[in-house]
Structure 1
C-alpha cells in the first residue's frame, strides 16, 4: 500500500475515532445527568411522599427475616435429631443477632434507590490490575494539584471515584478512553491502520453498550416514578400497595412469633 493511500486511510480512521470518542463523551454526560442530578431529585420526592411507609416496610422485613432465620436454624437442628434446650436457644439467638450486626456493620442506611449499575463489576486479577492502572492514570491526569481544576475534573471527578469504588470497569474504561490513547503522533505505517481499526471497533462497541445502559436506566426505578410522583391517583394506589406489603409482613411476623414461642415453651431441660 503506497504512502498516499496509507495517509488518507489513517486520516479517515482518526476522524472516525474522534467521532466515537465524542459520542462516548455525550453518552457519559447523559449518564452523569441521570445518576447525579435526576436520580437524587426523584429519590427526594419519592421519600418525601412514601418515606414513612418504606421505612416501616424495611424495618418489618428485617424483623421477619431474622425470625425466619432463627426458625430455620432450629428446624435444622431438630431434623438432625437434636433436642432444643436453653443453651441451643441462646446460641441461635446470638448467631442471628451477630449475622444481623455483621451485615449492617459499616453501612449507613441504604436508600431504596441505590446507584444504578447495569454494567458488570470486575473482580478477576488481570481486570483488577487493568482497572487500577487506568484509575491511577486518570488521577494523575485530572488531579488539580497536577493539572489544575479542569472542567472535566469538576464534572467527572466524583463519578470516577464512585466507579472505582464500585469496581465498575466499564465506566473507568470509558473515562480513560475519552482522555487517553491519542493516535495523532502515530507513524504512517500499515500496522498503524490495523491498530486504528481495532481502536475504532472497540469504541463503536463501547458506544453501543453505553446506549443500551442508558435505555435500561430510564425504564427502571426510580426513573419510572418521575411522572407518577405528580399524579395523585398513582400516589394513592402506590401507598395502598405499600400498606398491603406491610400488612402481609405483620401477618408473617405474628405467625413467626407464635412459632418461636411454641419452640421456646417446649425447650428440653
Structure 2
C-alpha cells in the first residue's frame, strides 16, 4: 500500500473541479441547496479517488442520480456540469451528456424497444445519459406499453456497466416519487437524489437581466417593476416553467419593442431607444388582462 502523504490542494487543482464549481456558481442564479449538494458529491468522489490511488479499498460510490423539480430550474445545466466533474475525476471516459425522453427509448410495437434503447445506451457510453420526464417510461395502466422493457434494459446497464455510464433521471418531484415507488429496482440504484427548488421573483428578475445583457438589451426602471409584476402573475398561472417562461416573456417583449419602434418610424433612432425595453413592452402581455 502506498503510504506517501497527499497534498489535497494539489490534487484538487489538478482536476479543475474548482473551475467547474465556480462556473456553476457564476452561471446559475440561486439554487443554493443544489450547488451545496454538487459540492458534497464532488468532495466524496475526489476523496474516493485519492483512497483508491493509495490502495485503500472501498465500495464504489454510487454515481447514478435523480434530479427533481419544475421545468426551467437548471436541471440540464447542472447535469452538464456534473458530466464535466465526473470526467475530470476519471469516473467516465468521454464526459458528454446525452439528453433523451421516452420517445427516444420506447418503441411502438413488439421488438422495437430493445434496439432503440440499446442504440441510445451505445451513444451515451462513456458519458452521462440524462432521461428527462423519466416517469413517462412507466405506464402501468397500459398493458400494451413497452416502457417496462426499456426500464429493464436500463436497470441491467446501470448495475453491470456502472464504470462506463452514469444515468440521471429527471422530472417533476411528485410523479418521480411515484415512479420510484413503482420501480424499486431503479430507486435502489440511485445514490444521489437532488431536488431543484423553484426560483423566487427576485432570482427570476436577476436571470432576466442576465439574458437581456447577453443580447445587449436592458430594462428601464419602470420596465423592471412591470417585469416583476409579470413574474408574480405568471407564477400563478398553469404551465409556469421558471427561467424558461421568463425567456419566452422577454422574447415577446423584444418583439413588442420592435413593433413599437417600427410604428413610430420616421423619427431618428438613438442607441438608447434600440436597447431599452419600456414598461409597455411588458404590460401588453395577456397575463395583465
Q: Which has the higher helix share?
A: 1
Structure 2-normalised TM-score? 0.20
> Looking at both structures, which has the greater relative contact order when contacts are Cα pairs under 8 Å and sequence separation is at least 6?
1
Q: Which has the higher strand share?
A: 2
Please identify the structure whose Cα radius of gyration is greater: 1
